[in-house]
Structure 1
Amino acid sequence: MAFSFDESCSRVREALADAGRGLVEREAMVEVVTLCAVAGEHLLVIGPPGTAKSEAVRRTARALGGSYFEYLLGRFTEPSEVFGPVDLRKLREGLVETETAGMLPEAEVAFLDEVFLGSTAILNTLLGVLNERVFRRGHTRLACPLRVCVGASNALPEDEALAAFADRFLARIFVEPVPDPRLEELLAGGAALALEGETRTASLEALDVLARAAREADLTRVRPHLAQALRLLRGAGLALSDRRMVKTQRLVAAAAVLAGRRAPDGGDLWPLVYAVPTQAGQALAREVLRDVLARSENPALAAAALEASAGPLARAQRLIHAARGVLAARPGDAEGEALAAWRLKLEGVVREVDAGFAPEALPEDLRALREEVRAALP
């Protein structure tokens, strides 16, 4: 079935909303995985154990559709565990060929936990898969359908050889344990995850429509703004490699098409922050690019845009999304604890809007939503 550009945007947004439901403080990660899938780039997730990195990737993979491969690498992991075993029948004929069915070379979305623990043989083979989408081993040459590979680790590697491998992951996102104010949401969300049924799937066809639109996007208007942002980063001591700078254009174009626009503008520069390799560097980039990122917004990737930019329009999009969710979840009973809890959530939305925006700086769509929320309160 062929999807139009608008239909593809809608399907991916709906699937993303399903994938992120219940994942407290991991909504941005779900969105960045999708951003990378549309851009045709790879993502590195850095964070301590037990922070739902694998769950977020699994849910995003289900939402995007297609075949999925996941593996926890270790010091003694054999290449056959990732890429498939040698075909013994062909080996008897003197050919070293690999049976790749169900393994990484045939996956559309892949997740490699503790990716830097892989052996030299695994990482060298991975380079071809990541860079060229080609699997080479013995006599086997196979084009890989991989859209995005997500690597995870507890920390960035210090070894120079591993750092060179890590550079093949264009985007980086750093996760921390859920903060104290959201622990109730974490507990409720964790319980809900175990009870959930099937989530919506965008389908690879829809994803490919957006990926094609991102490749064909006209960056003429946004390129001078991107170049200026890169100059600002250089001036602050955050020099990106030439390859990384060129590839950031793919993230910018992907952000635009996921927002429903075929040509990026100044509001789509926020993915540049995720291309900065270190956590400290990303924090500095947010400060250096504060004015550049002030226009950042993305209705499909609201959490990722907010985390990258901390800009007012991105904050407004997040609040609108949160308020719509609360309004839609109004309990049926006229009284009772459920209704009282619902009212408290609405009041919390209003307080957050008032605390985050001066009345004269309130975006028009957020102003209208605030009035709608106020009208829903008794």
Structure 2
Amino acid sequence: MAKKVRTKSLFSSTPKEHIRQLVNWMSQGVYEKEQIIAVALLCAVAGENMFLLGPPGTAKSMVASRLKMVFKGGKSFDYLMSRFSTPDEIFGPISISRLKNDDRYERLTAGYLPEADVVFLDEIWKAGPSIQNTLLTVINEHIFHNGGQIMHTPMKVLIAASNELPAKDEGLEALWDRFLVRMVSNCIESDSSFFKMIKGSGVELSELSESLYITNELYSSWQNESKSVGIHDSVVDAIKNIRKSLAALEKEDGNKLRYYISDRRWRKAFRLMQTSAYLNGRRDINLSDYLLLVHSFWNEVECIPNIINAITSSISDITVRQLNKIDKLIRQAMTTQSQRPQPSPFGLNIEHNNFAEYDYFYYLVENYPGGEVYFSKWDYTSLNSNPRDGIMFFETKKKKNVIHALIPSKPFDSTANNVANLKKVRLQKCPNGVIIDGTPYAFRLKGDRQQASQVSFDNLPIYQRIPLIQDLFKTCVEEWEKSVASNWTDCDNIFLSPNDLALVNKMLKDVSEQIKTIEVKLNNVVMMLK
């Protein structure tokens, strides 16, 4: 079990308890916006930016105004953009006195974006090129060029909003890519919440407890400690899967960049997941943190269903592929068994084989752990699927290890045959080779003097295949159940919504049904063999 993360003794509560209380405080009198508020707080701690898509009157600006209040001494800046907005309105007016007296072109930034901790820009896509270019520098490097001096901006998060996405072919792609988290803010859906809202007389926020303020010291502590968070192997596998899925979607979409995720965006996404894991009290990123990427990787609204499907599928992809393979093995085993020719009544293999012959009388057993071993060509024809006794010995005259099948009516004379190191073995016939003491081995084929592998799985008789399939199935299910237990059982990620968890539950249900189906098939095969 992962160790719980606690802040240094200087701070009174765990990060998770602290964030949960802040989200509850910020959500007073607000309905169905708890996740947006929580994720906005996550973005602020991670130092990432957020875009809210939605119609007017859906509490988008409220998120930023309340977020500012949780930072001790925090400053905010909010502005409604238009086609006629100027840089002076965003970054501050030019200081006439400094220009006149000192010949310095500087802005008066107090009360404007360069000195704000939390920034909210409504209708951001209406900003002109001069504002956009300056914003890119502020977002990328957290610096503002004010005349001849460079200001380091304290901005923790920029929240932008609009009821539309950026127009294509207008040079907005770079700015759009800087918003790591993208969420949809809709009107209230639940009837009960809706009537509570319209009947309410407005809520005055209760006073925030002094201990809940995020001070600069606490903020720095959270940021620094979260950078040491690792990543679980299950998340690594999921990321590998989603990268392949997104590449396939992009290719299928005609390379329109609707499913393209830049390396910079991936790096920022990793930082977001680290922060989520830390604030949830974990030392490693797990799949619940990874699920947050459904709010990061879409570029157009119509792409959201495909992104959701790709991310949820990537979580179970390895298990599903293993289950599909096991299902195929079961079907192949039954098909091969029904099509395999039956042995002759005398147990002789009358089919021609492609085995390489040695000294006219022997086949070479491949990969035998005791070294090169030769099997009697004539004895092989007497074997069948029923185990029987045999002997292995070192033939001193020919200086090689040899295996013979024992003939019940004819005892083996070790003295007459010049043998040493005699030992008894159990022999059984299998396609392309022989089973020695329960382990299948292939004979070397004609024209192949290199070492060959052991008898392939496909060539084993069904009664030997099924136990192997059962072991594969058991291991697959155990690994899946372990992953579910560590990531989703009692999942309490404070940044996930019930809708997010519903996506996971559907995926878990689909995998569970597939497991049950294969289990029934496997049990039926076992019953048929009894």
Say yes or no: TM over 0.5.
yes
Matches within 5 A, 1:129-148: 129-148=138-157
Letter in 2 for 1:210: W
2:136 is paired with a residue whose SS is: helix
Q: Which residue of 1 aligns with 2:66?
A: 59
How far apart are 1:101 and its partner, in Å? 1.2
| Separation of aligned partners in 1, 2:502 and 2:246 | 14
Matched, 1:14 2:14: no
Given that 1:69 and 1:107 are in contact with CA atoms closer than 8 Å, whether structure 2 keeps it comes out as yes
Given that 1:110 and 1:148 are in contact with CA atoms closer than 8 Å, whether structure 2 keeps it comes out as yes
2:111 is paired with a residue whose SS is: coil
Higher relative contact order at CA 8 Å, sep ≥6: structure 1 or structure 2? 1
1:12 is paired with a residue whose SS is: helix
Residues 158-192 of structure 1: CA deviation (Å, up to 9, x unaligned)? 2330122111111111122222xx23313424626
Q: 1:100 to 1:126 in 2, by over 3 A?
A: same
Matched, 1:111 2:304: no
Q: Which runs of 5+ in 2 are unaligned?
A: 1-7, 251-258, 317-486, 514-530
Residues 69-105 of structure 1: CA deviation (Å, up to 9, x unaligned)? 1111111222121111222222121111112112111
Residues 134-170 of structure 1: CA deviation (Å, up to 9, x unaligned)? 0113223100111110010111012330122111111
Q: Which residue of 2 aligns with 1:210?
A: 222
Matched, 1:279 2:297: no
Matches within 5 A, 1:205-284: 205-219=217-231, 221=233, 222-237=235-250, 238-276=259-297, 277-284=299-306
1:98 is paired with a residue whose SS is: coil
Matches within 5 A, 1:6-155: 6-65=13-72, 66-92=74-100, 93-155=102-164
Letter in 1 for 2:302: A
The one of 494, 500, 512 aligned to 1:300: 494
The one of 174, 185, 188 aligned to 1:178: 188
Residues 294-322 of structure 1: CA deviation (Å, up to 9, x unaligned)? 8464442232x74387323999xxxxxxx
Given that 1:105 and 1:144 are in contact with CA atoms closer than 8 Å, whether structure 2 keeps it comes out as yes
| Separation of aligned partners in 2, 1:299 and 1:122 | 37
How far apart are 1:57 and its partner, in Å? 2.3
Given that 1:12 and 1:207 are in contact with CA atoms closer than 8 Å, whether structure 2 keeps it comes out as no
Residue-pair matches, total: 314
Q: Which residue of 2 aligns with 1:327?
A: none
| Separation of aligned partners in 2, 1:67 and 1:293 | 40
Q: 1:64 to 1:185 in 2, by over 3 A?
A: farther
Letter in 1 for 2:504: G
Residues 215-261 of structure 1: CA deviation (Å, up to 9, x unaligned)? 23223644343232332333333331222222210111111112111
Given that 1:8 and 1:206 are in contact with CA atoms closer than 8 Å, whether structure 2 keeps it comes out as no
Letter in 1 for 2:79: Y
Given that 1:5 and 1:209 are in contact with CA atoms closer than 8 Å, whether structure 2 keeps it comes out as no
| Separation of aligned partners in 2, 1:5 and 1:41 | 26
Letter in 2 for 1:151: A
Residues 49-69 of structure 1: CA deviation (Å, up to 9, x unaligned)? 111111122223323442111
1:69 is paired with a residue whose SS is: strand
Tell which deviates more after alignment, 189-198 or 42-51: 189-198
Q: Which residue of 1 aligns with 2:358?
A: none
Residues 275-305 of structure 1: CA deviation (Å, up to 9, x unaligned)? 11233323222222324458464442232x7
2:138 is paired with a residue whose SS is: helix
Q: 1:146 to 1:195 in 2, by over 3 A?
A: closer
Tell which deviates more after alignment, 208-217 or 91-100: 208-217
Letter in 1 for 2:280: A
How far apart are 1:4 and its partner, in Å? 4.4
> C-alpha root-mean-square deviation of aligned residues, in Å?
2.9
Given that 1:12 and 1:206 are in contact with CA atoms closer than 8 Å, whether structure 2 keeps it comes out as no
Q: Which residue of 1 aligns with 2:165?
A: 156
Percent of paired sites with the same residue? 28
Query: TM-score when scaled to structure 1?
Result: 0.75
Q: 1:230 to 1:134 in 2, by over 3 A?
A: same
2:191 is paired with a residue whose SS is: helix
Q: Which residue of 2 aligns with 1:312?
A: 505
Matches within 5 A, 1:342-361: none
Q: Which residue of 1 aligns with 2:330?
A: none
Q: Which runs of 4+ in 1 moved over 6 A?
A: none
Given that 2:15 and 2:281 are in contact with CA atoms closer than 8 Å, whether structure 1 keeps it comes out as no
| Separation of aligned partners in 1, 2:492 and 2:500 | 12
Letter in 1 for 2:306: L
How far apart are 1:111 and its partner, in Å? 0.6
2:45 is paired with a residue whose SS is: helix
Given that 2:106 and 2:147 are in contact with CA atoms closer than 8 Å, whether structure 1 keeps it comes out as yes
